Structure 1
Amino acid sequence: MESLLIQDNHLEQTNIFEQMVKEHGKSIYIYVLSLVKHKELAEDLYQEVLISAYLSFPTFEDCKKIKSWLYKIAINKCRDYWRKEKTSKKFWEESIYTYARDTSVSLEPEETLISQCDKEEMIGTLEELAPIYKEPLLLFYYHNQTLVEISDHTNTPLSTVKTRMKRAKEQLKPKVISKKMISM
């Protein structure tokens, strides 16, 4: 009798996990691909993310934070890879706009300027920012994460995430405006 209950519980968890992968798998893969910029490596790391998530799933409790949890596993797997390969610099050499150029709709002037810049200009401009400012911008605008999700994902207090976003926008605004003036 006990073994039947264990089997039913395992089957239920497997079904929930499969549904979770169907719902969030593509966005997690795209996120990993945007970080590492190599399809084969992204596929390998994505598989590692799924394996880690599957093994940890029985102990996961807060279903409302499942997407953040998966993103956190994904970034940790990428960081592990970079540490191992000593190529962590590549994290910020990514093409941010390759798949998400038109995903943000905003009313704020800074955000409008950001969305109007072409790919090369924005990549160059973002390269001028410190990594602590690039990461929240990337997650917010191009991976559609909320500030709370970014806070969870990066293990950073919410107030710090807000401050970094504000400072990043303040730093980007004059750079983007000056580049727009030059290209006119």
Structure 2
Amino acid sequence: MEELTAEVIETEDKEALIDEIMTRYGQEILQLVYSYVKNKGLAEDLTQDIFIKCYKSLHTYSGKSKLRTWLWRIAINHCKDYLKSWYNRNVVMTNEEPANSQTKKEMVEQVVIQKEEDDELIGAILMLPIKYREVIYLFYYEELPIKEIAVLTDTGDNTVKTRLKRAKELLKERLEA
């Protein structure tokens, strides 16, 4: 990881470096973007845009933060910009809903029940407002510490803690209903 950070600062071969970054962080960024836009095809497009931005901005990376943090900051800002954009507000997305994988008939009842509970939880998380959804995703799915989440979301530690608490309360209400 530290080797890649030093490489970013010193490299001349941007293509090889961006390949390494995409290989290492591509899936994480895609999942993060999906948590914002709730649309697989759109998430893939925005992820591609994010890596293009990363490629064009490699020269601005100073090494003061982890490469992952820098990349996630770009991704979060890009998602927020998209959600605020005219295009997103005025174009109705059709024919794309989150895909729910179907369980096979041979699966035991417990696996089916667990899958339904997981889907219900994911659905409830995706229904949360973005400010709560992002902290839940970063804390529980990416297992990031509060301080790093605060840096990524450009908020204070206490704000992150408050949002986590409120998000859990909202999830509890929705799942008990």
**What is the TM-score normalised by the length of structure 1?**
0.62
Q: Does 1:72 align with 2:89?
A: no
Deviations 1:32-71 (A, max 9, x none): 2343233332232112101111111112022752212222
1:151-166 pair list within 5 angstroms: 151-166=150-165
Greater Cα shift, 48-57 or 148-157: 148-157
1:27-176 pair list within 5 angstroms: 27-62=28-63, 64-82=65-83, 83-87=85-89, 117-120=117-120, 123-124=123-124, 127=127, 130-173=129-172, 176=175
Deviations 1:83-130 (A, max 9, x none): 232439x9xxx96xx79xxxxxxxxxxxxxxxx944225634773x55
Gaps of 5+ in 1: 1-7, 100-115, 180-184
**What is the TM-score normalised by the length of structure 2?**
0.64
- Call closer, same or farther: CA 1:171–1:144 in 2, change over 3 Å: same
CA shift, 1:9, in A, is 4.2
- What is residue 4 of structure 1 aligned with on the other side? none
> What is the aligned-residue identity percentage?
37
CA distance in 2, matches of 1:53, 1:125: 28
Measured on the aligned residues, the alpha-carbon RMSD in Å equals 3.5
